[in-house]
């Protein structure tokens, strides 16, 4: 089968590339922003016409950490809406058999009972700190469902919790929490400075290793046809504080004594606890997730080995 993966040079795209590298049944095309500007419909059509995909895994998005989400609300909304509208319309035009689009747990309502499940997605406004990005991603779920209902297009959506792993963006300001903290700790140790973390470290998150998510996505591609979204996540018991994550990173990098929290900064949303009950019922088997300490160790080692060339 011919699979086009948008966002193919990113964290999950690279995990899928590694997973599918020896699969002779798949002809895969990994599309990066350098290959095609998906905000431009003409270029998007040209890309689809060139690759003629049977399946699409839509990962492309403009993303960032808490403070980018607060600074760039208009850009994150506008650019993501353009990307999603163009990709889904091209999937429809070129009669793609199935499109899997990636959402995020940050799009759920701020005021909500926990744990979150798939039916709660539109039950209130998202947290103010990621307003623009969150609504763009919510519209992607709506768009997918509308194509499904009106045309019978198999456009499904997945909602992974916080993803981390090799090939991530380790930018100090625009990266997500784990890669940003890894880079901060690396520089702090190198320069013998305090490893300072913005916020109190108290917020709680569920993290999923990119290689685990790649396996789950391929399972979804082959077997899941529901128009309703599905959360892909570790269990509620695996929820962990940012403080604990920072301590694991510091421990792995042997820099535990110089760890400090700057509580004058915003923490963002305190928790986003998601239920993976639907996923576990759908899988009908016990999926073995990578323990977070092992995942962070592997990510740190990859970052150090690829420091000169990785995204940062």
Question: Can you give the three-state secondary structure of the chain, one letter per residue?
Answer: CEEEEECCCCHHHHHHHHHHCCCCCCEEEEECCCCCCCCCHHHHHHHHHHHCCCEEEECCCCCCCHHHHHHCHHHHHHHHHHHHHHHHHHHHHCCCCEEEEECCHHHCECCCCCCECHHHCCCCCECHHHHHHHHHHHHHHHHHHHHHHHHCCCEEEEEECEEECCCCCCCCCCCCHHHHHHHHHHHHHHHCCCEEEECCCCCEECEEEHHHHHHHHHHHHHHCCCCCCEEECCCHHHCEEHHHHHHHHHHHCCCHHHEEEECCCCCCCCCCCECCHHHHHHHCCCCCCCCHHHHHHHHHHHHHHCCCCCCC
pLDDT value, residue 71 = 64
How far are the Cα atoms of 11, 16, 67 from residue 47, in angstroms, in the given order? Answer: 21, 20, 33
What sign does the dihedral 32-75-210-146 (CA atoms) show?
negative
Told to judge if 133 belongs to the known catalytic residues of this protein, a careful annotator would answer yes
Question: In this predicted model, what pLDDT tens digit does every residue of 254-272 receive, in sequence order?
Answer: 998 889 898 888 777 788 8
From CA 99, how far away is CA 87, in angstroms rounded? 9
**What is the CA angle 49-53-56, rounded to 5?**
120
Task: Tell which residue, 199, 210, 200, has the closest CA to residue 289.
Answer: 210
**Most confident range, picked from 126-140, 213-227, 266-280:** 213-227
Question: In this predicted model, what pLDDT tens digit does every residue of 123-145 receive, in sequence order?
Answer: 999 887 788 889 999 999 999 99
pLDDT value, residue 67 = 56
Q: Identify the burial level of 103 via C-beta atoms within 10 angstroms of its C-beta, where 0-12 means exposed, 13-18 middle and 19 or more buried.
A: buried
103-107, 212-216, 243-247: the lowest-pLDDT one: 103-107
pLDDT value, residue 271 = 83
From CA 47, how far away is CA 228, in angstroms rounded? 28
Q: Exactly one of 55, 133, 164, 224 is catalytic; name it.
A: 133
Question: In this predicted model, what pLDDT tens digit does every residue of 155-185 receive, in sequence order?
Answer: 999 999 999 999 999 988 777 899 999 999 9
Question: In this predicted model, what pLDDT tens digit does every residue of 4-30 receive, in sequence order?
Answer: 999 999 999 999 999 998 888 889 999
Domains detected in the chain? 2-165+206-237+274-284 (3.40.50.720)
pLDDT value, residue 120 = 95
Q: Identify the burial level of 24 via C-beta atoms within 10 angstroms of its C-beta, where 0-12 means exposed, 13-18 middle and 19 or more buried.
A: exposed
pLDDT value, residue 265 = 82
pLDDT value, residue 70 = 61
From CA 27, how far away is CA 50, in angstroms rounded? 14
Averaged pLDDT of the chain: 92
From CA 242, how far away is CA 204, in angstroms rounded? 6
Which residues are within 8 A (CB) of 281 and not within 5 positions of it... i.e. 6 or more apart? none
pLDDT value, residue 25 = 86
pLDDT over 70 (residue 307): yes
Q: How much is the pTM?
A: 0.92
Percent of the chain whose predicted confidence (pLDDT) is above 70 = 97
pLDDT value, residue 99 = 98
pLDDT over 90 (residue 280): yes
């Amino acid at each position: 089968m011919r699979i086009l993966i948008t966002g193919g040079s990113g964290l999950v795209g690279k995990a899928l590339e590694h997973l599918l590298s020896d699969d002779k049944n798949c002809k895969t095309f990994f599309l990066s922003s350098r290959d095609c500007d998906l905000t431009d419909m003409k270029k998007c059509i040209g890309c689809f016409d060139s690759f003629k995909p049977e399946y699409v895994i839509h990962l492309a998005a403009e993303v960032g950490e808490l403070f980018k989400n607060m600074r760039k609300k208009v850009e994150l909304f506008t650019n993501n809406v353009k990307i999603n509208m163009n990709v889904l319309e091209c999937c429809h035009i070129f009669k793609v058999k199935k499109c899997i689009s990636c959402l995020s747990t940050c799009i759920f309502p701020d005021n909500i009972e926990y744990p979150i499940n798939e039916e709660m997605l539109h039950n209130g406004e998202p947290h103010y700190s990621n307003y623009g990005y969150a609504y763009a991603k919510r519209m992607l779920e709506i768009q997918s469902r509308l194509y499904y209902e009106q045309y019978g297009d198999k456009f499904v959506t997945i909602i992974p919790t916080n993803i981390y792993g090799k090939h991530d963006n380790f930018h100090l300001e625009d990266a997500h929490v784990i890669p940003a903290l890894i880079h901060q700790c690396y520089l702090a140790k190198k320069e013998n400075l305090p490893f300072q973390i913005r916020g109190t470290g108290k917020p709680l998150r569920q993290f999923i290793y990119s290689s685990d998510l790649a396996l789950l996505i391929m399972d979804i591609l082959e077997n899941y046809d529901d128009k309703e979204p599905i959360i892909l996540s570790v269990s509620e018991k695996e929820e962990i504080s940012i403080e604990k994550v920072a301590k694991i990173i510091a421990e792995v990098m042997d820099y535990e004594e110089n760890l400090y929290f700057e509580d004058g900064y915003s923490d963002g949303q305190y928790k986003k606890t998601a239920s993976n009950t639907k996923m576990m019922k759908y899988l009908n088997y016990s999926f073995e997730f990578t323990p977070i300490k092992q995942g962070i160790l592997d990510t740190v080692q990859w970052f150090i080995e690829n420091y000169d060339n990785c995204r940062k």
